[in-house]
A and B are shown apart, each in its own frame.
Chain A
Amino acid sequence: MSEIRIRTVSWLVRQIAFSVDREPSLHNVVLEGEVFNFTAHSSGHWYFSLKDEHASIRAIMWENDNLLVSFQPREGDRIRVLGDVKIYQAGGTMQLVVRKMAIAGAGDLKAKFDALYKKLENEGLFSVDHKKPLPHYPMNIGLVTGRETHARADVLNTLGRRWPVAEIFEYPVLVQGNRASADIVQALKRADGAGHDVILLCRGGGSQEDLWCFNDELLARTIYAMKTPLVTGVGHEPDWTMVDYVADLRAPTPTGAAERCSPDIHKVYEHLEEQRHRILVLCDDRLKEARMQLDDLSGRAVFENPLEMFSQRRLKKELLKHRLLGELGSLTAELKAELSSRRELLSMHAATRIRESRRTLKETEDEMIRLLDQRLLEEERSLRQKAGLLDAYSPLKILERGYAVVSKNDTAVSDAEELKKGDRITVRLHRGSAEAEIQSVHKGD
């Protein structure tokens, strides 16, 4: 028993560290694994663990190394690292000191994605012109998504809240793995033939590999050939898969897809109420406008006070009569003057000539009077015509109903003040008129 040597912990850990340092296979190790327990420490160093199905290892990446990494790893990311295994002697723990880091397999997948993207883009599969407009009020929605997934629940919740009136037909599909693309293609073809107003293709978030089935060429071509508008909500905000480019609308998430393809029923009710209100207001305005036009027309003098119009016409007639008489007067004076001068000249001529002249004068005078009468008659007739028109508009009908217009010296009388006992007045009736003498006058109303 005395041969047993007692070692210190430090000795043991140092021995292990020494062995590890000397083992070449533990240096410049390249490995892939999934990140967990990631911490970006305030010192700038990264502390995390890498694991696969069977094992895990602590890892550290110093600040001066991680500054060169273009991304910050998140929980669950598959990454590829290069580093050395070291023993942390104070803790007696083993860790991988990482010097370089990249997203695992990113290069391959990215190259494949880019190649397919370029090919399909050149063929016009992503053309904006090809995109179908979405219906505003879809009553019949096809939902292609994973059975009992969060994505399905999100979509159903959102549609139930926003647009409960739509009927939803579900097409459960595989949304991950190498058989998923073909399954989705079949479901989309069936949904497209079912006469839905719009179809949703949804899947929740996942790694690039998880979502890879949505980058399938046949799937993209199937979507392109669809007659029904398609909205995609695959993965999370930054994830773009091939189906997103070829779909009629790409939403960042399943919930987003449900929102983008449905109206909010409360907004629709509001819109209806708004439209109803607008129609009522617009129609009211239009009727008010028409009413105003009508009032404006009926307020014109001819409708408002036709008797006034009538007496004005009458005044005009009197003026015309005076003017015509004046003209006639001067004309006859001229003729008379001419006659007298002629009489002087012809004083020595035979009396027959004088008689002749007299006859001519008389004829001229008669003609003038006839012309005047005719003119007055025409005036009277046109006046009567106009009065008839006015009558047709109504107020002269008053006379027809037994009212009378009283006038004195051709002026309509509306106030007893204008009359006194013995005045002669003219009473105009609907038909004809009468002369009367005032017996007595009662003033006031």
Chain B
Amino acid sequence: MAKTVTFEESMERLDEIVALLESNEQPLNETIALFEEGLRLVKSCDAQLKKFEARAMELKQKSEEETADGEY
């Protein structure tokens, strides 16, 4: 299986980044890099969730239509 980052891993990394920023032990340039990565993760997690939600809705609708057609 190709190594793709799962939603779970993204969320874990995000929490890790916030913890790192909170500890405030990195030099400023690393802080900025973490900041950038963190915001990017927030955005991608949010987008992933929305995508999953839309897909779930679509599947649900499809299955309801199929049930209505008596093909279930």
Interface bracket on B: 20 to 34
Q: Which of B32-58 contact A (CB under 8 A)?
A: 32, 35, 38-39, 42, 45-46, 49, 52-53, 55-57
Q: Is A135 part of the contact surface with B, judged by Cβ < 8 Å?
A: yes
The interface of chain A, by Cβ under 8 A from chain B, is: 135-137, 139, 160, 164-167, 265, 268-269, 272, 275-276, 278-280, 282-283, 286-287, 290
CA A194 to CA B72, docked complex, whole Å: 22
Given the complex, which residues of A lie within 8 Å of B7, measured CB to CB?
Answer: 137, 139
- Taking a contact as CB atoms under 8 Å apart, the answer to whether B46 and A269 are in contact is yes
CA A136 to CA B12, docked complex, whole Å: 10
- Taking a contact as CB atoms under 8 Å apart, the answer to whether A164 and B53 are in contact is yes
- Taking a contact as CB atoms under 8 Å apart, the answer to whether B42 and A165 are in contact is no
Closest 9 CB pairs of A and B: A165-B52, A282-B21, A283-B35, A279-B38, A276-B42, A164-B56, A137-B8, A286-B31, A137-B7
Q: Known contacts A275-B14, A275-B15, A275-B18; is A283 also within 8 Å of B31 by CB?
A: yes
- Taking a contact as CB atoms under 8 Å apart, the answer to whether A269 and B42 are in contact is no
- Taking a contact as CB atoms under 8 Å apart, the answer to whether A286 and B24 are in contact is yes
- Taking a contact as CB atoms under 8 Å apart, the answer to whether A165 and B49 are in contact is yes
Nearest-Cβ distance from residue B19 to partner chain A, whole angstroms: 10
Given the complex, which residues of B lie within 8 Å of A135, measured CB to CB?
Answer: 8
A-B contact pairs, 20 of them (CB 8 A): A137-B7, A139-B6, A139-B8, A160-B60, A165-B52, A165-B56, A272-B42, A272-B45, A272-B46, A275-B14, A275-B15, A275-B18, A276-B42, A278-B22, A279-B17, A280-B39, A282-B18, A283-B32, A286-B21, A286-B24
CA A286 to CA B18, docked complex, whole Å: 13
